[in-house]
Structure 1
Amino acid sequence: MARTYLDPSPLPGPGQWADQDLVALTVGMDAPLVLRAYVNGMFPMPIADEVSDELPPADWIGWFSPVRRGILPLDGLRVPRSLRKSARHFEVTVDRDFPAVLAACGGQDREGGWIDEGIVAVYTELHRAGRAHSVEAWTPDGQLAGGLYGIGYGGLFAGESMFHDPRVGRDASKVALMGLVAMLRAGGHPERRLLDVQWRTEHLASLGVVEVPRTEYLARLRRALALPQPRWAMPPDWRTASLGQ
């Protein structure tokens, strides 16, 4: 059973985690706590289900460390010919418009949306501190067609969410992912860097995402955190970089 903390300052370590994805609950969160969670293998998500009769659901934050963690090996991204062709039609940037990417990922029309005002406030603060980053895919006429955002710390990039605008960029989120992988690989030591996607879904599996046990994820995390951060800028050769098959 997940531990519950009314004071959000402490979080349990791996030795206290239950054998389930949800490892802790707190009332509220702040940017330092969120960053500390990532470097210890956890990530936050508001809990929609009612946890207490005394507090509204929006006040509860669940802290997750999946028993089976989804990661994308930097040499394992699957880039079919059709996607390489689509990439020619987009410009990909880093941190050009973090607020717009965050807003699009949290669009009210998205099924299962969990990005609320609290998430926006915390991740915006982390972006200003240089810890949260966005990757954007733009059309030739300057429309934001897709993108993604996540947390960067050392050799870790913890992806949080991605989106595409079907009106202007069916493959735009995948193209943004291509750019992210190229940028992380350009930072050196690609075999030790860690691109975390939280859970493996069928869609993410089609892009090369695999599952690893929690213990293996934590070991990889320790190695990744010791690396320097990548340069948060898109390599000029991102379209042709070797991104796997």
Structure 2
Amino acid sequence: MRYLKQLFGFSLLLFLLVNCTKNSETFADQVQNGIEDEIDDDIQPKDFKILSLGDSYTIGQSVCETCRFPEQLKDSLIPKFNSEDRFEVQVIATTGWTTTNLLSALAAQPPSNDYSLVTLLIGVNNQFQGKPFELYETEFITLVNKAISYAQYEKSRVIVISIPDYGFTPFGQNNQPTITAQLNQYNQYAQNFCEANDITYVYITDITQQGLENPALVASDNLHPSELAYSKFVERILPFAIEILD
């Protein structure tokens, strides 16, 4: 009888040990599967669409296509994200465009409203062509609202970039004080509007104001920013772009 009790006790202990081991394995498997599911979610490729609206400063007059700031921004973003993520850039800009020209182009061929990030840099040709400043005040706001609509109707996905100062180029140096004063008015208006409406505003004008002392910042046409200047623009834009897309 004593032997049978010992045998029964040993069998019960063995049964409990086996069951505990199985349960532990099941729990461990569940945890591992959960981790793997989270990892799978994290590494799913994402499609990022960038839309850049503007004029010659956006199209990259007198520099190569990959040298303009929207392309340099894309190239700078790629290593900051998963290697499987995909980036696409669309540029709607033409040399000489005023706010009116850009609005007309957008009305003729409206972009989709699914962009991950939209940049807007416009106004220099309003100043250069002597358009009334009141026109810029009205049309700039319209363009910002359109940019928001293209950015999934989220203003947090829009970046407004200040207007470069061409007064500090060989082309504009003889009229530099007037050019600078007028462009300051445009930039101040844009900055005030963005700050009042919680829209990201990136100031790059001071970079271009080094153009006479550092000719490498000016393109071969003696007027527009060079590839180097655009790379400096991107250094300032990049942190905001990462925050928006991350």
Q: Is the TM value for this pair above 0.5? A: no
Which of 1 and 2 has higher RCO (CA within 8 Å, sep 6+)?
1
More helix by share: 2
Which has the greater radius of gyration?
2
* Structure-2-length-normalised TM-score: 0.30
